[in-house]
Structure 1
Amino acid sequence: MTTKEKILHLLQQSDVVLSGEKIAQSLAISRTAVWKAIKELEKEGYQFDHLANGYRYLSTDLYNAAALSKDLAMIPTIRTSEATESTMKEAKLAALELDVTTPALFLTETQLGGHGRFNRPFFSPKKQGIYMSLLLKPNQSFQELPQYTVLAAVAVAEAIDALLGQQTSIKWVNDIYLDGKKICGILSEATSDFESGRITSIIIGIGISFSIPQSDFPAEIRNKATSLFAHEEAPTFSRSTLITEIWTRFFALLAALPNDDYLGRYREKSFVLGRHVQFTQQGVTYEGIAQDITSTGELVVKTATETKVLSSGEISLEKY
Structure 2
Amino acid sequence: MTTKEKLLTLLENRRGSFVSGEEAAQELSVTRAAVWKAVRALCQEGYPIDAVPNRGYCLSKMGDVLSAQGIAKFLNPEMRPLVEKSVDSTNAAARRLAERGEPEGTVVLSGSQTQGRGRYGRSFYSPADTGVYLSLLLRPAGDPQQTVLLTAAAAAAMCQAMEALGVESPKIKWVNDIFLRGKKVCGILSQAAFSLETGAPEYAVVGVGVNVYTPKDGFPAEIADIAGSLWDSPVPEGKNRLAAEFLNRFWTLYRTGGDFLEDYRRRSLVVGKPLTVLSGDTRRNALALGIDDRCRLRVRFGDGTEQSLSYGEVSILSETLPEKT
Fold in common (TM above 0.5): yes
Question: Does structure 1 conserve the Cα–Cα contact (< 8 Å) formed by 2:136 and 2:206?
Answer: yes
C-alpha distance in 2, partners of 1:24/1:108?
29
Q: In 1, are the aligned partners of 2:50 and 2:60 still within 8 Å (CA)?
A: yes
User: After alignment, is 263-272 or 4-13 more displaced?
Assistant: 4-13
Other-structure match for 1:270: 268
Q: Which runs of 5+ in 2 are unaligned?
A: 319-325
The 1-side partners of 2:121 and 2:224 are apart by 19
Tell me what 2:12 maps to. 12
Point out the more displaced range, 110-119 or 54-63: 54-63
Specify the code of the residue in structure 1 equivalent to 2:317.
Answer: K
Letter paired with 1:40: A
Q: CA deviation at 1:283?
A: 4.6
1:308 CA displacement: 1.2
- 1:234 and 2:234 are equivalent in the alignment: yes
CA contact (8 A) 2:76 2:248 kept: no
Match of 1:96 among 94, 99, 111: 99
Tell me if 1:47 matches 2:48.
Answer: yes
**Residues 29-54 of structure 1: CA distance to partner in whole angstroms, max 9, x if unpaired?**
32222222222222332232111221
What is the aligned-residue identity percentage?
Answer: 35
SS at match of 1:166: coil
Secondary structure of the 1:71 match is coil
Find the aligned partners of 1:295 and 1:253 in 2 and give their Cα distance.
Answer: 15
Partner of 1:196: 198
Query: Match of 1:78, as an amino acid?
Result: P
User: In structure 2, what is the equivalent of residue 79 of structure 1?
Assistant: 82
After superposition, the Cα gap between the structure-2 partners of 1:124 and 1:303, relative to the gap in structure 1 and judged at 3 Å, is same
Distance in structure 1 (CA, Å) of the matches to 2:98 and 2:138: 9
- The Cα of 1:64 is off from its aligned counterpart by 1.9
Q: Equivalents in 2 of 1:26, 1:237: separation in Å? A: 24
Separation of aligned partners in 1, 2:230 and 2:105: 27
Q: In the alignment, which residue of structure 1 is the partner of 2:322?
A: none
Look up the match of 2:243. 243
Equivalent in the alignment of 1:292: 290
Please show how residues 201-216 of structure 1 align to structure 2 within 5 Å. 201-213=203-215, 216=218
Shift of 1:175: 0.3
Could you list the per-position Cα deviations for residues 66-115 of structure 1 after superposition, in whole angstroms to 9, with x for gaps in the alignment? 342343234443222222211111111111103x1221111111111111
* 1:311 equivalent in structure 2: 310
Which amino acid in 1 is paired with 2:84? S
Give the CA deviation at 1:237: 4.8
Query: Paired residue for 1:66?
Result: 69
CA–CA distance in 1 between the matches of 2:21 and 2:234?
Answer: 31
**Are the structure 2 counterparts of residues 283 and 40 from structure 1 closer, same or farther at C-alpha, using a change threshold of 3 Å?**
closer
- For 1:83 and 1:221, the matched residues in 2 are separated by 22
Count of aligned positions = 314
Comparing 188-197 and 27-36, the one that deviates more:
27-36
Structure 2 residue matching 1:216: 3-state secondary structure: coil
Letter of the 2:92 partner, please give it.
K
In 2, the alpha carbon distance for the partners of 1:191 and 1:234 equals 38
TM-score (norm 1): 0.91
Alpha-carbon distance in structure 1 between the residues aligned to 2:217 and 2:26:
49
Deviations 1:269-309 (A, max 9, x none): 00100000111336543212101101111000012320011
TM-score by structure 2 length?
A: 0.90
CA distance in 2: counterparts of 1:292 and 1:127, whole angstroms: 37
Structure 1 unpaired stretches of 5+: none
Residues 158-167 or 10-19, more deviating: 10-19
User: Does structure 2 conserve the Cα–Cα contact (< 8 Å) formed by 1:214 and 1:222?
Assistant: no
